[in-house]
Amino acid sequence: MTSTAQAPQSGAGTAHPDHLGHVIFIAAAAAMGGFLFGYDSSVINGAVEAIRSRYDIGSAALAQVIAVALIGCAIGAATAGRIADRIGRIRCMQIAAVLFTVSAVGSALPFALWDLAFWRIVGGFAIGMASVIGPAYIAEVAPPAYRGRLGSFQQAAIVVGIAVSQLVNWGLLNAAGGDQRGRLMGLEAWQVMLGVMVVPAALYGLLSFAIPESPRFLLSVGRRERAREILAEVEGTGVDLDARVAEIEHAMMSEHKSTFKDLLGGSFFFKPIVWVGIGLSVFQQFVGINVAFYYSSTLWQSVGVDPTDSFLYSFTTSIINIVGTVIAMIFVDRIGRKPLALIGSVGMVVGLALEAWAFSHHLVDGKLPATQGWVALIAAHVFVLFFALSWGVVVWVFLGEMFPNRIRAAALGVAASAQWIANWAITASFPSLADWNLSATYVIYTVFAALSIPFVLRFVKETKGKALEEMG
């Protein structure tokens, strides 16, 4: 490309906003979608046994009700980008907020099992939209010098949402006398747990009216003056705004819209780099991490832990998840993605293997022996810690960086879809596997954690410190 075709240099890369606090507020408001993502993903944990009891269903049917939301997630994630390009990022957030709200009310007041499942799908669709729109919006609005730190708000919001849902569930269960089906505000406790999501959903919707549209979207629909105003607001008046607008327009014109066809090639249908992305996504889920958030209270109750205590253990696991995520954010740019993934894999193998050993012992009076009980509890926290400080964050960093520019969008879509499918497979299979043999189930997760080590060593290339243009 000749120098005459290049966009003017605006100085945005080193510019600082005049009001950083306002920019942080904008990113935090957009990340509320991540909070709802985490909250909705985990809140069902408090209702699992009550749903089983109320509708008198077996483990296989129960698993489908829990996992069906992931179908909505996949659809929402697949369509969010196109919707956002047509009507804007903010409108997309508002649609997700409405769907979250409707899903919360419907899930709290179901007529039968089928409509509970339907409302779970609606909520899943909103989760899928939020999982795509939040990071995309933050990346488009954040000043380049702060993009990495502000982009981390999404993942931080997800783990905080998980923790808050566990804490709220624990509080509501205590208020209902430790019974998921105990009466609370005229409803059963589990219904209130699902209905409480109306509060953060409404807050997400209200906050969306307080933040600006993405300058990138505004330029795509010809609203240049409004785009300039927002760029001045978020990147500072020290930036050459005309050059900045030209820079974004130039980048948009030179972009290649990747398609599924671009991913084909090689001896196994997809290009090798696409398979690596799919592998990272699948391993991230096949270690069984979502069992810790969808079924943890059920798991502890199955080995004799009091229901109220089981919710407290679930909450402490969520706190560990937050701690691990913060550790990952601190070290992912310091020691690299690949070493962090390997450290996490080793730690997960140890934690999962110890859980498998503990659960292999026979229950005494409906409980694990004291030694095995403590080992299971500590090992569960070790597993979540090592997952959070590695694969929980690193996989998303890898997927955003590892693909060549010409196929990045399409490849990321395929890898994300593989992640939702793998998530569904683990979530739908766990109750039946646990009924069959809980210890053997954890042996399976241990094997996948162990296999992730040679996979990373052999196929995954370090992306730390490389420009996106160097990938592939």
Q: How confident is the model at residue 383 (pLDDT cuts 50, 70, 90)?
A: very high
Question: 430-464 burial, b if ≥16 CB within 10 A, otherwise e?
Answer: bbebbeeebeebbbbbbbbbbbbbebbeeebeebe
- 364 phi and psi angles, rounded to 5 deg: -115, 115
101 three-class SS: helix
Q: Could you tell me the pTM of the whole model?
A: 0.77
Q: What is the dihedral of CA 26, 29, 34, 36, to 10 degrees?
A: -170
pLDDT at 158 over 80: yes
- H/E element holding 188? strand 187-188
Q: How confident is the model at residue 245 (pLDDT cuts 50, 70, 90)?
A: confident
What CA–CA distance (Å, rounded) separates 311 from 296? 8
To 5 degrees, how large is the angle CA 368–CA 374–CA 376? 75
Question: pLDDT tens-digit profile of 14-61?
Answer: 556 667 788 889 989 998 988 998 888 778 877 888 888 888 888 788
CB-based burial label for 257 (10 Å; 0-12, 13-18, 19+): exposed
Q: What DSSP character marks residue 263?
A: G
Question: The tokens of 274 are what?
Answer: 């696409």
What CA–CA distance (Å, rounded) separates 205 from 344? 36
Mean pLDDT across the chain, nearest whole number? 83
Q: What is the dihedral of CA 325, 327, 329, 331, to 10 degrees?
A: -150
To 5 degrees, how large is the angle CA 94–CA 97–CA 103? 145
Q: Which of 125-129, 231-235, 380-384, 404-408 has the highest mean pLDDT?
A: 380-384
Question: pLDDT tens-digit profile of 133-142?
Answer: 888 788 788 8
Question: pLDDT tens-digit profile of 67-119?
Answer: 888 888 888 877 887 788 888 889 999 999 999 999 999 999 998 888 899 99
- The mean-pLDDT minimum among 132-136, 208-212, 221-225 falls in 132-136
What CA–CA distance (Å, rounded) separates 220 from 222? 6
Contacts of 157 (CB under 8 A, 6+ apart): 28, 31, 32, 33, 34, 35, 37, 38, 134
What CA–CA distance (Å, rounded) separates 456 from 266? 20
Q: What is the dihedral of CA 154, 313, 420, 269, to 10 degrees?
A: 110
State the pLDDT at residue 454: 97
Helices 198-208 and 89-108 cross at an angle (nearest 10°) of 160
- H/E element holding 187? strand 187-188
Question: How do 264-268 and 183-184 pair as beta strands?
Answer: unpaired
Question: The tokens of 324 are what?
Answer: 């691990």
Question: pLDDT tens-digit profile of 309-350?
Answer: 777 777 788 889 889 988 988 888 788 889 999 999 999 999
Question: The tokens of 343 are what?
Answer: 């450290």
Tokens 């408001």 belong to 29
CB-based burial label for 180 (10 Å; 0-12, 13-18, 19+): buried
Q: Residue 101 is which amino acid? A: T
Q: How many CB atoms lie within 10 A of CB 253?
A: 9
What CA–CA distance (Å, rounded) separates 365 from 352? 25
Tell me the residue ranges of DSSP E strands in 218-356.
Answer: 264-268, 270
pLDDT at 163 over 60: yes
State the pLDDT at residue 468: 46
Instruction: Find the DSSP H helices in 56-146.
Output: 59-67, 69-87, 89-108, 113-141
Q: Residue 222 is which amino acid? A: G
CB-based burial label for 91 (10 Å; 0-12, 13-18, 19+): middle
What CA–CA distance (Å, rounded) separates 375 from 355? 7
State the pLDDT at residue 7: 45
